[in-house]
Amino acid sequence: MSKQSPKISNFIFNKNVQGVFYQAITLSLVILGIYYIVQNTAQNMVARGLASGFNFLGVESQFDIQMTLIEYSPTSTYFDAFIVGLLNTLLVAGIGILFATIIGFAFGIMRLSSNWLVAKIAESYIEIIRNIPLLLQIFFWYFAVLRALPKPKQSIEFMDSIFLNNRGLFVPDPNLGEGSSILFYLFWLSVIISIGIFVWSKKRQNKTGKTFPAFFTSMALIVGTFTLTLTALGFPISFEYPELKGFNFKGGMKLIPELVALTFALAMYTAAFIAEVVRAGIQSVSKGQTEAARSVGLKEGLVLRLIIIPQALRVIVPPLTNQYLNLTKNSSLAAAIAYPDLVLVFAGTALMQTGQAIEIIGMVMGVYLFLSLFTSVVMNLFNRYMKVGER
Amino acid sequence: MNTFKMWILSLTASIVMMPAAFAGTLDTVKSQGFFNCGVSQGVPGFSNPDENGNWSGIDVDVCRAVSAAVFGDPDKVKYVPLTAKERFTALQAGEIDVLSRNTTWTLSRDAQIGLEFAGVNFYDGQGFMVRKDSGISSAMELDGASVCTNLGTTTELNMADFFRANGMAYEPVVFEKADEVVNAYDEGRCDTYTTDKSGLAAQRTKLADPDAHVVLPETISKEPLGPVVREGDGDWADVVRWSLNAMIEAEEFGLTKSNAKTECALTSNPVVARLCGKEGATGAGLNLGESWSYDIVTMVGNYGDVYETHVGENTPVGLARAGSPNASYKNGGVLYAPPAR
């Protein structure tokens, strides 16, 4: 036997070397695969005369959008249309998450109620809502809303200034007059002072054990400052009232039925899941904790606030994050009922007019990925803040 | 040694994975024995399935004509219902071979998104439908209206142009599926429903009370509708283009579904003889059999036959042909086929 051969075979049969070798092969196959897909796509797009690139974003879109949170007209660019769609998606996701959380927590706690009726109401709500497909619920609420509401000329009125019909809810639009910027500065100042009060009262409580009604003080401060300045300035706010002109109301602020139906359906649906998450969280806190808290003399409200909820939140937050992500992604069902979200406006109309499917779908996917990762990061930070302090 | 193996591997891989050149659609279609035709999800008169799932309509008959020309049998077609939003991607991706789905021929579609239009089988224009009891008689009275329409159509752009040009405000309510548009309009979400006038006539039959609605007289756009194929496949585009042209030319020379057999036997007119496949070897140029145009006329019919069967005045859609652009140029319309010779 020569000296070398055992060395080589040692090398070849070395587990680590083999591992690296196979991983290298797998990695290069994956890279080759991706390269092939990109190359093939580019080649086929050229062969079929498809336009490519992102230059279209600077071109006039030439279409209108029903609801825009920024200035938009057919002479705006495709990029503006993208922003309009994005903001509409964020709006419906934001409102949806807020309401889903409130309704979900309420029903989750109700389901644990010792009152038979309350518990059963919560249970049937949860079981019915979460077992019906969301798209059907969206259609249901949309057509329920449309059917229930009158035509513009028979609008339901409140005090001659708020109107409700099947084109939407019309409310007076506040226009801020001169000097109103002071109002804003003072408002934000009082908010900052309130945060200071919270920090100070927490510190004082930790040091001396004395409590301070920080919440009520800061509410009084904010509301008081706002009202006083408003009076001092002589109410520099004028309202633009909606008026029936021709087909519909003009002026004022408008809430379209598509937004209402979509938000409603998303919030109700997700709330049913959140309720179960909340129930799981609360039930995960052992009974001993409640009994111990009571025996040291805490009041019922404080038992819940200081003992149960902080411990329950540790269980609640991770699955709650999932529900928030689901709600955001489910908001893309908006296209079914004409709510102009990102999918309808950008992956719909803009895609059809430009034909640049790869770029547009890529951007839309990027947006949903970013929104989801962003929500995850925020909720993870919150989770870290809520976790048990190691002592 | 690792690196060396890697090089061999990547080299082989890149050779194996070279993108295969496209086989022509015509050859592929011939060898598989059928082709896929993209149609609407149901527009009466244009492409609409009956209760047994059999498709009919003038858009469907374009595909049947192509099938008759290629296979000598009008039914070697698989119909793929598509939304307006899906249709171009389906064609680009090769899911369908012909798109015959009331699609408007425009510059950007032709030049930018990899489509080739094979002709026009219906000259249309966009209009508005309103409720009779709204008392509106002209599109110029629509200032401030809520307008229901379909996503992914030229309609969206035309209405933006129309309202902008006339300085009128409006609220676009845009749905993805045609049925949802009709439903929302019927429920009163919108004051008016806009699409191509033929589409309005067709969709009106789906409303709860068709007689309570009226189509306004204005036509706000040009909508030449026709079959579409993928760009870069000239042979297949030729087959579709000339199948349509043959239907139009057959009508110009009085060759109909019912008289074609006898006419072809008796004719002394060389144009008719060419359409009958007796002279001129027109099929060879298209890589088709010589009876291709004869098969189209006898199995599907000429343009007039098809029009009257599906959208003519005696159908529920009820679109009068005389006086419309869809009349033959001989009767003052704009329907005109280049000579099939």
**Same domain, yes or no, for B71 and B192?**
no
- Whether B285 and B277 have beta carbons less than 8 Å apart is answered as no
DSSP 8-class letter at B135 = -
Measure the CA–CA gap between B87 and B19, rounded to whole angstroms.
Answer: 25
Measure the CA–CA gap between A191 and B73, rounded to whole angstroms.
Answer: 78
**Same domain, yes or no, for B207 and B229?**
no
Res. A153: pLDDT tops 60: yes
CA distances to B17, B63, B76, B82 from B79, in Å: 32, 9, 10, 9
Q: Which residue of B has its CA nearest to A62?
A: B157
Q: Which residue of A has its CA nearest to B161?
A: A62
Nearest to B249 by CA among B340, B317, B115, B138: B340
| Cβ contact B19–A340 (<8 Å) | no
Q: Which residue of B has its CA nearest to A27?
A: B6
Per residue in B244-289, pLDDT (tens digit) is 999 999 999 999 999 999 999 998 899 999 999 988 888 999 999 9
**Same domain, yes or no, for B257 and B300?**
yes
CB distance from B167 to chain A under 8 Å? Answer: no
**Which residues of B, range 45-84, sit inside 8 Å of A by Cβ?**
84
ipTM: 0.79
**Which residues of A, range 11-40, sit inside 8 Å of B by Cβ?**
21, 24-25, 28-29, 32, 36, 39-40
Q: Which residue of A has its CA nearest to B171?
A: A66
Nearest to A269 by CA among A180, A202, A343, A331: A331
| Cβ contact A166–B189 (<8 Å) | yes
Measure the CA–CA gap between A225 and A219, rounded to whole angstroms.
Answer: 10
Element (H, E) at A176: strand A173-176
B156/chain A closest Cα distance in angstroms: 6
CA dihedral (B55, B59, B63, B68) in degrees, to 10, reads 90
Residues of chain A contacting B176 with CB distance shorter than 8 Å: 335-336, 344, 348
Mean pLDDT within B206-230: 93
**Which residues of A, range 349-378, sit inside 8 Å of B by Cβ?**
349, 351-357
How many other CB atoms are found less than 10 A from the CB of residue A48? 19
| Cβ contact A32–B84 (<8 Å) | no
- In this complex, which of A73, A348, A355 lies closest to B176 when CB atoms are compared? A348
Question: Over chain B, what is the mean pLDDT?
Answer: 89
Which DSSP string do the residues of A145-169 spell out, in sequence order? HHHHSPPGGG-EEETTTEEEETTEE
A134/chain B closest Cα distance in angstroms: 17
- In this complex, which of A62, A246, A258 lies closest to B160 when CB atoms are compared? A62
Residues of chain A contacting B14 with CB distance shorter than 8 Å: 32, 36
| Cβ contact A24–B6 (<8 Å) | yes
In a domain, B66, yes or no: yes
Number of domains chain B contains: 2
Q: What is the pTM of this model?
A: 0.81
Mean pLDDT within B189-197: 93
Our CA angle for A332, A336, A340, nearest 5°, is 60
**Which residues of A, range 317-346, sit inside 8 Å of B by Cβ?**
335-338, 340, 344
**Which residues of A, range 175-234, sit inside 8 Å of B by Cβ?**
none
- Sign of the C-alpha dihedral, residues B105, B106, B111, B112? negative
Which DSSP string do the residues of B239-266 spell out, in sequence order? HHHHHHHHHHHHHHTT--TTTHHHHHHH
Q: Which residue has the tokens 């006083």?
A: A228
**Same domain, yes or no, for B118 and B243?**
yes
3-state secondary structure of A326: helix
Q: What pLDDT, on the 0 to 100 scale, is given for residue B4? A: 56
Classify A96-172+241-335 by CATH class: mainly alpha
Q: What pLDDT, on the 0 to 100 scale, is given for residue B57? A: 95
Q: Which two tokens stand for residue A46?
A: 């050229």
- Whether B191 and B77 have beta carbons less than 8 Å apart is answered as no
**Same domain, yes or no, for B248 and B102?**
yes
Mutation target for B interface from A32, A40, A44, A48: give the one with most B CBs within 10 A. A48
Per residue in A212-233, pLDDT (tens digit) is 787 888 888 888 888 888 787 7
| Cβ contact A349–B156 (<8 Å) | yes
Q: Which residues have CB under 8 Å from B99's CB, separation 6+?
A: B37, B38, B82, B87, B88, B90, B91, B115, B227, B228, B229
Mean pLDDT within B85-112: 90
Per residue in B139-176, pLDDT (tens digit) is 999 998 999 998 878 899 999 999 999 999 899 999 98
- Whether B174 and A256 have beta carbons less than 8 Å apart is answered as no
| Cβ contact B184–A338 (<8 Å) | yes
Q: What pLDDT, on the 0 to 100 scale, is given for residue A1? A: 47
Residue at A70: amino acid letter = I
Residues of chain A contacting B177 with CB distance shorter than 8 Å: 336
Residues of chain B contacting A352 with CB distance shorter than 8 Å: 84-85, 88, 151-153
Measure the CA–CA gap between B243 and B270, rounded to whole angstroms.
Answer: 19
- In this complex, which of B92, B172, B188 lies closest to A64 when CB atoms are compared? B172
CB distance from B171 to chain A under 8 Å? Answer: yes
B151/chain A closest Cα distance in angstroms: 6
Residue B3 — very low, low, confident or very high, per pLDDT cuts 50/70/90?
low
Res. A97: pLDDT tops 70: yes
- Whether B259 and B267 have beta carbons less than 8 Å apart is answered as no
Residue B341 — very low, low, confident or very high, per pLDDT cuts 50/70/90?
confident
A335/chain B closest Cα distance in angstroms: 6
Our CA angle for B101, B195, A74, nearest 5°, is 110
CB distance from B159 to chain A under 8 Å? Answer: yes
- In this complex, which of B84, B146, B160 lies closest to A248 when CB atoms are compared? B146
Per residue in A225-267, pLDDT (tens digit) is 888 887 877 777 777 788 777 787 877 788 888 998 999 999 9
DSSP 8-class letter at B140 = G
Q: Which long-range contacts (CB under 8 A, 24 or more apart) does A381-389 make?
A: A382/A317, A383/A314, A383/A317, A383/A318, A383/A321, A386/A310, A386/A313, A386/A314, A386/A317, A387/A314, A388/A311, A388/A314
**Same domain, yes or no, for B155 and B117?**
no
Residues of chain A contacting B232 with CB distance shorter than 8 Å: 47-49
Residue A19 — very low, low, confident or very high, per pLDDT cuts 50/70/90?
confident
Residue at A56: amino acid letter = F
3-state secondary structure of B296: helix
Q: What pLDDT, on the 0 to 100 scale, is given for residue B1? A: 44
CA distances to B104, B141, B186, B195, B266 from B192, in Å: 21, 11, 10, 10, 54
Residue ranges of alpha helices (H) inside chain A are 4-13, 15-47, 78-111, 116-130, 134-148, 180-208, 214-232, 257-283, 287-295, 300-302, 309-330, 342-344, 351-354, 357-386
Res. B17: pLDDT tops 50: no
In a domain, B151, yes or no: yes
CA distances to B62, B309, B317, B319 from B314, in Å: 21, 8, 8, 9
| Cβ contact A351–B153 (<8 Å) | no
Range of the domain at B271: 25-123+225-331
User: What's the distance, Cα to Cα, between the start and end of chain B in Å?
Assistant: 66
Residue B335 — very low, low, confident or very high, per pLDDT cuts 50/70/90?
very high
Mean pLDDT within A274-300: 91
Measure the CA–CA gap between A341 and A266, rounded to whole angstroms.
Answer: 14
Res. A378: pLDDT tops 60: yes
Per residue in A158-189, pLDDT (tens digit) is 877 788 888 888 888 777 766 667 777 888 88
A336/chain B closest Cα distance in angstroms: 6
Mean pLDDT within A99-115: 92
Our CA angle for B26, B29, B34, nearest 5°, is 140
Res. A388: pLDDT tops 80: no
Q: Which residues have CB under 8 Å from A214's CB, separation 6+?
A: A194, A197, A198, A201, A202
Q: In what order do the strands lie in the sheet with B213-215?
A: B170-175, B145-150, B192-196, B126-131, B213-215
- Whether A328 and A375 have beta carbons less than 8 Å apart is answered as yes
3-state DSSP of A94-110: HHHHHHHHHHHHHHHHH
Residues of chain A contacting B2 with CB distance shorter than 8 Å: 21, 24
Measure the CA–CA gap between B295 and A145, rounded to whole angstroms.
Answer: 54
- Among residues of chain B, what percentage have pLDDT more than 70? 93
**Same domain, yes or no, for B119 and B233?**
yes
Res. B6: pLDDT tops 60: no
**Same domain, yes or no, for B141 and B48?**
no
CB distance from B336 to chain A under 8 Å? Answer: no
Burial class (CB in 10 A: 0-12, 13-18, 19+), B304: buried
**Same domain, yes or no, for B113 and B34?**
yes
Mean pLDDT within B41-57: 92
What is the CATH classification number for the domain harbouring B136? Answer: 3.40.190.10
Measure the CA–CA gap between B104 and B117, rounded to whole angstroms.
Answer: 9
3-state DSSP of B96-107: CCEECCCCECCH
| Cβ contact B113–A51 (<8 Å) | yes
Domain termination site, one of B203, B221, B239: B221
How many other CB atoms are found less than 10 A from the CB of residue A27? 10
A60/chain B closest Cα distance in angstroms: 11
**Same domain, yes or no, for B237 and B323?**
yes
Measure the CA–CA gap between B21 and B37, rounded to whole angstroms.
Answer: 23
**Same domain, yes or no, for B210 and B237?**
no
Question: Over chain A, what is the mean pLDDT?
Answer: 87
Q: What pLDDT, on the 0 to 100 scale, is given for residue B116? A: 93
Q: Which residues have CB under 8 Å from A362's CB, separation 6+?
A: none
Res. B125: pLDDT tops 90: yes
3-state DSSP of B156-180: HHHHHHHHHHCCCCEEEEEECCHHH
Residues of chain B contacting A42 with CB distance shorter than 8 Å: none
Q: What pLDDT, on the 0 to 100 scale, is given for residue B130? A: 95
A138/chain B closest Cα distance in angstroms: 13
How many other CB atoms are found less than 10 A from the CB of residue B336? 13
**Same domain, yes or no, for B327 and B229?**
yes
Q: Which residue has the tokens 């087959």?
A: B239
A6/chain B closest Cα distance in angstroms: 17
Q: Which residue has the tokens 């709510």?
A: A339
Domain termination site, one of B184, B200, B221: B221
